[in-house]
Amino acid sequence: MEKMARVTTALGGNALTGRTMFCHLDAPANAISVCRDAAQVVVAGRNIFKIYSIEEDQFVEKLNLRVGRKPSLNFSCADVVWHQMDENLLATAATNGVVVTWNLGKPSRNKQDQLFTEHKRTVNKVCFHPTEVYMLLSGSQDGYMKCFDLRKKDSVSTFSGQSESVRDVQFSIRDYFTFAATFENGNVQLWDIRRPDRYERMFTAHNGPVFCCDWHPEDRGWLATGGRDKMVKVWDMNTTRAKEIYCVQTIASVARVKWRPECKHHIATCSMMVDHNIYVWDVRRPFIPSAMFEEHKDVTTGIVWRHLHDPYFLLSGSKDSTLYQHIFKDASQPIDRANPEGLCYSLYGDLAFAAKESLISSDSNRKPYIGDRRHPIFFKRKLDPTEQFEYISSSSALSVFETDMESGSMDWFVHTAKQYALAGRPLAELCDHNAKVAKGLDRNQVAQTWTMLRIIYSSLGTVSSANLNHSMGKGSATLPLMNSFNLKDIPSGLGSESRLDRSKGENRTENILMDSSSTLINNEDNEETEGSDVPADYLLGDVEADEDDLYMMDHENPHAEEQEYSLPQEAFPLRHEIVDNPSALDHLQDKADSPHVSGNEAETVSLTPVESFSLISISHSLYENRLPTDFFNPIVRDTLLFYAEQGDVQTAVSVLIVLGDRIRKEIDEQTQEHWYTSYIDLLQRFQLWNISNEVIKLSTCRAINCLNQASTTLHINCSNCKRPMSNRGWICDRCRQCASMCAVCHHVVKGLFVWCQGCSHGGHLQHIMKWLETSSHCPAGCGHLCWRARYRRSSAAPWSGPTPPSPTPSSCSGSPSPGRSSCAGSPTTRGRALPGVCGAAAEAAGSGQAGQ
């Protein structure tokens, strides 16, 4: 039959023609359906029920089926369907639960044929049998499906879904007896029309209501469903268990799905809310629609392909009271606008870069790189000859760049975090100390910054202008390189631009920003670096000299610091005799002394030195007029912003803490909070719990400060009687037993008690540490592998103490990557609770709060 229809159209020579066009309806449409001959369309809605004929370039209203003076709810249609066998036959589902059939062959004005008032609630869907003339199926809100024989007055059979409302019913195209029904609770049921007592199969297709389904016109086993969970899924029903074979994620709940004729993998969808467009997806490429129709101004409520065998004409009705005919060649193809380049970091800092092949191969700068650590892999997507769509560029090249582990190392971060002094001493001392730390790690620019800060804020007026000028000039010239990649031969416009700009050097901030971006193209290998014409030792030597000068001045005016002095604030006032922390620190300092890989970073910074911009005039006036210290605040602020922008949020936060009120007002609260959270997040990823707590404590942001005050109480139960312990942590009031015994020395632990979250045994921090050096089992002999547990849950490490090299830090190192914008930590971590509050960390948090 279908074949016949097609032949006749072909024979008749009336291949469909037309253009994109629309007509205004008087009221919003709820559903549309086409006549078999593709020449007429029926539109139904609450206040409309009309038939339009589709002419060459317009819609012409043929018939208004809403007759009678009094509007009846029977005309208020939720759905309409035109019989595909008999062009005089229509059926509508009314919102009041009535199913109405219409016979266009009736001579009277009122074409209403039959009225079935069997459903108690709104009927959501009606469906004619594809080959049987008199069989009509309906699905209703009341949870029932009913099958009607149009020759009889009542329903032939009733199917109870035994669950919530029915949203859609569809006869299978090929299986004469089968139909599918979708439900509000996310289920899909398959029924045999002869067996009304029980469904054949049922499976859960979506989370939330399944609004629609459609059988594939050719492939008998495929059923597409769309749900409120914004997904379109394609199920293969041939197997015994329905198998999901494709899934398309859309941006709004899916109201209708319709397979595209003659295209095996294409499906048209429209959504229930918010999104007004109609999409045609290739289910094999679920990420981007292959075509899109954007004409409607309100949600599209009905879509239908104009002809069973013609894939180029789509009709749609909408709540905006229009009826559209869309022509495929007018569709917009989102792929045109898609960005065909992709860039992504791997867990270990490798970088993959995919781009159009033409773009990469045509680049003349791309030179073969011998003996590198880079393994480019190229993929080429073959054009599918059966594909009806031509994608703009379906071939792309993917390059993968490996980073060597060392350049991605974050050792400098850990060392810096541990060694920086942030409070407790006069400003000048803090600055000097931190400068030294930075210098020790070969981070000269940071060292310079600290030195400058000291000069600006604590020894104003005695600095010789020449020195100041000099050091500032230098400060901007040497940039720390935190993370370098062999990205050099990626033909990025960024690199070349910055190379151009570098010679200008007129505007300081702009220049710095440009330079920072150019670090992207620098790498470890000096011979590969373009800017390496400047001898590295020249830079370094120069810096040394500066610093000596500065230290000299320091000796000349020690008294300037006096008013800066504040009472030392102990970050960890230890309340007990066990001295755990110093040992931990010692351990760390040992590590810091060892040679480390980031040492050569400074050498690789090989930017052309910026012309020393003139600050002489400023420094003169500074000398004479005694400018207030906040004269420099904007510059300091810019410096901090620069560091944060570059990914070195550590420096920004440290300076912020050290300068305290001097600079705080210059930077808006939100930025500060953002920096703090990023830094704290980083510290916690490196398991530097103590330092992160110190930072939290020292921060002046309320939002940050209160991080420390959340969940500072640990409620513990007595290990003997299992009842909550009261005030003292080591003795139980109820059973008069000492609860917290050290599993190693079997004495009561007063003070820092560290315990395994896995088996809840523990003891003195030092004892446990010592124990775990030699054994990975629990000292209590319970058999738990405490040491393993630590690796398994690295973010919530059961043991907190010295950090052994664990595989996690390298994975975190991706965060403060160069070229990525702004602060290192992701903003999504804001407000996160402290992970792994246990042992010493918990103790520290508690005491931190007590200290305030």
Partner 1 sequence: MNRLGPGPVGSATAASAAGQYRVCGNCRKVPRQEKRVQVSPPLTRGPSAFIPENEVMQANGLDERTNLLVEEYSTSGRLDNITQVMSIHTQYLESFLRSQFYMLRMDGPLPLPYRHYIAIMAAARHQCSYLINMHVDEFLKTGGIAEWLNGLEYIPQRLKNLNEINKLLAHRPWLITKEHIQKLVKTGENNWSLPELVHAVVLLAHYHALASFVFGSGINPERDPDTSNGVRLIAVNNFCVCDLANDNNIENASLTSSNFGITDSLSELEALMERMKRLQEDKEDEEASQEEMATRFEKEKKESLLVISGAFDDEIVSTDVSRYIEDPGFGYKDFARRGEDHLPTFRAQDYTWENHGFSLVNRLYSDIGHLLDEKFRMVYNLTYNTMATHEDVDTTTLRRALFNYVHCMYGIRYDDYDYGEVNQLLERSLKVYIKTVTCYPERTTKRMYDSYWRQFKHSEKVHVNLLLMEARMQAELLYALRAITRHLT
| Beta carbon of residue 685, minimum distance to partner 1 (angstroms, whole number) | 21
Cβ(253)–Cβ(272) under 8 Å?
yes
Residue 235-254 contact track with partner 1, rule CB under 8 A, x = bound: -----------------xx-
Q: Give the Cα separation of 486 and 400 in Å (integer).
A: 11
Stretch that binds partner 1, among 88-96, 240-248, 625-633, 665-673 (CB under 8 A): 88-96
> Which helix H or strand E contains 293, and what residues bound it?
strand 291-293
- If you write DSSP's letter for every residue of 569-617 in order, what string do you get? --SS---SS---HHHHHHHHHHHHHS--GGGGHHHH--PPPPP----HH
Query: Counting contacts by CB under 8 A, is residue 849 touching partner 1?
Result: no
Binding range to partner 1, per CB under 8 A, among 93-101, 337-345, 352-360, 803-811: 93-101
Q: Among residues 324, 333, 329, 334, which one has the least CA distance to residue 302?
A: 324
Nearer to partner 1, 272 or 704 (CB): 272
Residues 272-301 that bind partner 1 (CB under 8 A): 272-274, 276, 297-299
- Within 333-362, the residues that bind partner 1 by CB under 8 A are none
Contact with partner 1 (CB under 8 A) among 120, 381, 587, 626: 120
**Cβ closest to partner 1, residue 119 vs residue 662:** 119
- Asked whether 78 and 95 are in contact (CB, 8 A), the reply is yes
From 25, 97, 662, 752, residue interacting with partner 1 (rule: CB under 8 A) = 97
| Residue 138 makes contact with partner 1 by CB under 8 A | no
CA distances to 94, 569, 694, 696, 802 from 582, in Å? 79, 16, 15, 20, 11
Q: Using N-to-C axis directions, what is the helix angle for 411-419 and 649-659, rounded to 10°? A: 10
* Of 594, 826, 799, 837, residue with least CA distance to 692: 837
CB of 366 to partner 1, least distance (A): 44
The residue (of 297 and 380) whose beta carbon lies closer to partner 1 is 297
* 256/307 with CB nearer partner 1: 256
Scanning residues 37 to 66, which ones bind partner 1 (CB under 8 A)?
Answer: 46
Among 35, 41, 78, 456, binds partner 1 (CB under 8 A): 78
Q: Which is nearer to partner 1, 159 or 183 (CB)?
A: 183
Counting contacts by CB under 8 A, is residue 147 touching partner 1? no
92 lies in the binding site for partner 1 (CB under 8 A): no
Span 158-187, contacts to partner 1 by CB under 8 A: 184
Distance, in Å, from the CA atom of 507 to the CA atom of 613, rounded to the nearest integer, reads 9
Binding to partner 1 by residue 603, rule CB under 8 A?
Answer: no
Diameter of the chain measured on Cα atoms = 113
CB 257 within 8 A of CB 348: no
Q: Is 826 in the site for partner 1 (CB under 8 A)?
A: no
Residue from 117, 238, 358, 563 binding partner 1 (CB under 8 A): 117
| Contact between 72 and partner 1 per CB under 8 A | yes
Q: Residue 545 Cβ, how far from partner 1 at the closest point, in Å?
A: 52
**Rounded least distance, CB 123 to partner 1, Å:** 8
Query: Does residue 669 belong to the site contacting partner 1 (CB under 8 A)?
Result: no
Backbone angles phi, psi at 566, to 5 degrees: -130, 165
Residue placing its CB nearer to partner 1 in the complex, 76 or 476: 76
484 binds partner 1 (CB under 8 A): no
Q: In what order do the strands lie in the sheet with 166-171?
A: 166-171, 178-183, 187-192, 201-204
From the CB of 206, what's the least distance to partner 1, in Å? Answer: 13
- Separation CA 233–CA 125 (nearest Å): 20
Check: CB of residue 822 under 8 Å from CB of residue 644: yes
User: Is position 126 an interface residue for partner 1 (rule: CB under 8 A)?
Assistant: no
Nearest CA-CA partner of 102 in 122, 128, 124: 128
| C-alpha count within 13 angstroms, C-beta hemisphere, residue 811 | 8
When binding is defined by CB under 8 A, the residue of 88, 96, 388, 757 that contacts partner 1 is: 96
Count the site residues for partner 1 by CB under 8 A.
31
Site string for partner 1, 760-799 (x = CB under 8 A): ----------------------------------------
Q: Is 144 in the site for partner 1 (CB under 8 A)?
A: no
Contact 210, 168 (CB under 8 A): yes
Nearer to partner 1, 79 or 524 (CB): 79
Hey, CA dihedral for 663, 668, 674, 680, is it positive or negative?
Answer: positive
List 302's β-bridge partners, or say none. Answer: 317
Distance from C-alpha of 578 to C-alpha of 750, rounded to nearest angstrom = 9
Distance CA 131, CA 177 (A): 11
- The site string for partner 1 over 184-223 (x = CB under 8 A, - otherwise) reads x-----------------------xx-x------------
Q: How far is CA 735 from CA 10, 648, 730, 743, 749, in A?
A: 95, 53, 12, 20, 17
Cα dist from 59 to 27, 315, 557, whole Å: 16, 11, 91
Which residues of this protein are in contact with partner 1, per CB under 8 A? 46, 70, 72-74, 76, 78, 94-97, 117, 119-122, 141, 184, 208-209, 211, 228, 252-253, 272-274, 276, 297-299
